[in-house]
Amino acid sequence: MSATSKGDIRNIALIGHKGSGKTSLAEAMLYVAKATPKLGRVDDKSSVLDDAAEEKEHGATLETSVAHLAWNGKKVNLLDTPGEGSFLAETRLALGAVDAVILVVSAKDGVQPITERVFAWARALELPMLIVVTKVDVENAVPDEAVAEIKARLKVPLAVMEIPVGEGSAFQGVIAVRNRKAWIGKPETPATIAASPVPDAHTKAVEAARGKLVDDVAGTSDALTESYLNEGDLTQEQLDQGLRDAVKTSAVVPVYFASGTRPSGIAALLNAIVELVPPPESHAIWKGMHATKKTDAERLPSAAAPTALYVFKTSIDQHAGRTSFARVLSGSIKADMALLNTSNAHPERLGKLFNVVGKEARSVDDAVAGDIVALAKLKSTHSGQTLSDEKAPFLYTAPEVPPALFSRGVQLDGKGSEDKVGTALHRLAEEDPGLAVHLDEGTRELVVSGLGALHLEITVERIRRRIGVDCRLGPPHIAYKETLSGTASGVEGKHKKQSGGHGQFGVCYIDIAPLDRGEGFLFEDAVVGGAIPRQFIPSVEKGIVKAMARGFLAGFPMVDVKVRLLDGKYHDVDSSDAAFQMAGSKAFKAAAAQAHPVLLEPIVKMRVTAPSAAMGDIIGDINSRRGRISGTDTIDDSTIVNAYVPLAEVLEYESKLKSMTQGKGTFSMAVDHLDVCPPAVQDKVIKDSGFKVETDEE
């Protein structure tokens, strides 16, 4: 359907830990609402949402899926997001495109680490929330215990909206206490979604639960409190409007129960989405900046405002090409419309607009502010970027994506496929906001970075499947550097060679000394009396620079060195640019051997956030990695540890932090400075490098 009014649209993201049942819930919603002809299932690989080859193989959501359905005259845009930690960049960007979230919690597994993480993101964005306890029909499921854990762990004002009838294998359905409707007995299908009256056996429990709900809602506003105290109850209209207001301000978080595989509890949940979730016009003003003036800017979520779109997902198919999924923040769009990408200043022309459900796409003529649509074949727009009216260039401040901290070097069998793999990786990085690819300037190695080991494993699987090239991932080569710790004076570099005809002759004498860290290279010409002709002074420097680039200890570039050219000798016929380059190179190597060369390693600045109970283990682990703690801060039940640690010691840190904190810890890091390696580390790096100093004989 093509919604013509923002009031006819609901945009909602399903978030939660992996395996909590998000995709099964979304599949059931699509089926019950007749958006799909049959119930898609993850376990038999018939899901229309988890339809990528890698998703079917791993049985998990690895990227945000977008679908829509119609329910009671409203268009509901569903975003099914990943709950695996390695793919949360997709989830993060999706949260910037919706007006509310459904937090999905398994009745069997309860609140898990990613549950808390995505919950915190949604709260930070002030998104209204519904909570759905799923898998109420599986063995050992205890819905009441799951609700108690949600309340204790997430500390939110819950309002239980339903009574689940039975649990585990005895689960029969749900009763909505707000409007006293029941869906008990048969699984729900498009033909069996009509509600029934509450059975007599459950009337007492329903009235007690409704009384608690009325009490919870009445406490959210002074007017409702006064009416409740005067009348002893709220009218149905007061209860419904009070709930809408309370959900919008997060004064109340409604809790529902459902089974996505049965399916059951789906019709009541869809009713809640269209009746309680705020429409797009209720969204807060969009925050961003003026793309040309670089000043703070705001954009009303109105069709009357200038057009702006937020692209939260990009998909590139070998056959269908590039598809971009966008939220219309303001204004309206239509096919073939010219806009400006305010993130990179490139002009962009929209192709056709589509509503999608899995692989099925239906063309629409236009989309109004508040809608979510698919856009065909944008040329220069990636996930997280903004398109807007060129005359009113607005750049939306999208949610910040978790940094790609887990890096690996790309290893290829044979030669000739480097360019092909590099191109494929960069294309994947356009689709996947959590993936980063770069060529390390120091090691000339292609390095791919992501949010975890699984993330990079899936990336390699996609490369193999898409381009048929086998590649592997190994630890990236650390970009060590070399420098000097001492000085050397008057060191000779002599190049003399006679091979018939003109010979080669050049002699230079240099002093060498270390510079402060970060000063690079300084060459000083102190030659007097024409001992080396002026035209050959740059040749000596060039030879020294080449020798520094090749390294002396382990083949890493030498940095922070001062060379003073003192004296030299030349021959009128046999001296040349090449001869003095060789002389400079030999002088540098001889001097470096005397000046106590040392290896420098990159030191990263780390920020680790984890439950305070795990701090002893975390600090001990950082110390064992030759780290230095620079400070700690405590916020609520979490502690932040700031530290400086050698990069070589934290290449595998993600998995270790996970195990120490049961998946609740997070960290960020960035290279801060270089420092001298301890002797034992230096000896090992030199041995592993297999490096030998060249003799410079030609």
| CATH architecture, range 482-595 | 2-Layer Sandwich (3.30)
Task: Please say if the pLDDT value at position 419 is more than 90.
Answer: no
Q: What share of the chain is helix, strand, coil (3-state, %, to 5)?
A: 30, 30, 35
Q: Which two tokens stand for residue 590?
A: 């001889």
- Among 367-371, 438-442, 452-456, the least confident range: 438-442
* Per-domain residue ranges of the chain: 6-282, 286-396, 406-474, 482-595, 601-684
Q: Please give the pLDDT value at position 118.
A: 94
Q: Please give the pLDDT value at position 476.
A: 76
| pLDDT tens track for 18-74 | 999 999 999 999 999 999 999 999 989 999 998 888 898 888 899 999 999 999 999
**Average pLDDT of span 289-311:** 93
Residues 466-483 as b/e (b if ≥16 CB within 10 A, e otherwise) read ebebebebeebebbbbbb
Give the pairing of strands 561-569 and 628-635: unpaired
Supply the mean pLDDT for the chain: 91
Q: What is the Cα–Cα distance from 537 to 375, expressed in whole angstroms?
A: 61
Task: Please say if the pLDDT value at position 697 is more than 60.
Answer: no
| pLDDT tens track for 484-534 | 999 999 999 999 987 666 789 999 999 999 999 989 999 999 999 899 999
pLDDT band per the 50, 70, 90 thresholds, residue 450: confident
CB 310 within 8 A of CB 395: no
> Would 406-474 and 601-684 be classified into the same CATH topology?
yes
CB 364 within 8 A of CB 350: no
Q: Please give the pLDDT value at position 698.
A: 47
Residues 416-426 as b/e (b if ≥16 CB within 10 A, e otherwise) read ebeeebeebbe
Give the pairing of strands 360-364 and 346-349: unpaired
**Average pLDDT of span 158-172:** 93
**Average pLDDT of span 188-210:** 93
Task: Please say if the pLDDT value at position 696 is more than 70.
Answer: no
Q: Please give the pLDDT value at position 1.
A: 47
**Average pLDDT of span 271-287:** 95
End-to-end CA separation in angstroms for the chain: 76
Q: What is the Cα–Cα distance from 476 to 473, expressed in whole angstroms?
A: 9
Percent of the chain with pLDDT over 90: 70
Task: Please say if the pLDDT value at position 122 is more than 90.
Answer: yes
- 3 state SS for 385-417: EEEECCCCCEEECCCCCCCCCEEEEEEECCCCC
| CATH architecture, range 6-282 | 3-Layer(aba) Sandwich (3.40)
**CATH classification code of 601-684:** 3.30.70.240
Q: Please give the pLDDT value at position 442.
A: 61
Q: Please give the pLDDT value at position 500.
A: 64
- Closest CA relative to residue 221, chosen from 239, 209, 206: 239
- Closest CA relative to residue 480, chosen from 513, 443, 521: 443
Per the rule left: phi > 0, alpha: psi between -120 and 50, beta: everything else, 80 is beta
Q: Please give the pLDDT value at position 466.
A: 85
Q: Please give the pLDDT value at position 453.
A: 82
Residue 689 amino acid letter:
S
Q: What is the Cα–Cα distance from 468 to 389, expressed in whole angstroms?
A: 41
Alpha-carbon dihedral 344, 347, 351, 354, rounded to 10 degrees: 40
| pLDDT tens track for 385-405 | 999 999 999 999 999 988 777
Question: H-type helices in 252-334, by residue range?
Answer: 266-276
Fold designation for 406-474: Alpha-Beta Plaits (3.30.70)
Q: Please give the pLDDT value at position 4.
A: 54
What is the reported pTM? 0.81
Q: What is the Cα–Cα distance from 195 to 204, expressed in whole angstroms?
A: 19
| pLDDT tens track for 460-492 | 999 888 888 888 888 777 889 999 999 999 999
Q: What is the Cα–Cα distance from 311 to 482, expressed in whole angstroms?
A: 44
Q: What is the DSSP code string of 540-582?
A: HHHHHHHHHHH-SSSSPPB-SEEEEEEEEE--TTT--HHHHHH
Question: H-type helices in 188-265, by residue range?
Answer: 203-218, 222-231, 236-248
Give the pairing of strands 100-106 and 129-134: parallel
pLDDT band per the 50, 70, 90 thresholds, residue 359: confident
Q: Which two tokens stand for residue 680?
A: 């034992």
pLDDT band per the 50, 70, 90 thresholds, residue 414: low
Q: Please give the pLDDT value at position 306.
A: 96
pLDDT band per the 50, 70, 90 thresholds, residue 171: very high
* Residues, the chain: 698
pLDDT band per the 50, 70, 90 thresholds, residue 652: confident
Task: Please say if the pLDDT value at position 2 is more than 70.
Answer: no
Fold designation for 286-396: Elongation Factor Tu (Ef-tu); domain 3 (2.40.30)
Q: Please give the pLDDT value at position 503.
A: 86
Q: What is the Cα–Cα distance from 650 to 656, expressed in whole angstroms?
A: 9
Q: Which two tokens stand for residue 614?
A: 């795990």
**Average pLDDT of span 204-229:** 94
Q: Please give the pLDDT value at position 57.
A: 87
Q: Phi/psi at 522 (nearest 5 deg)?
A: -130, 125
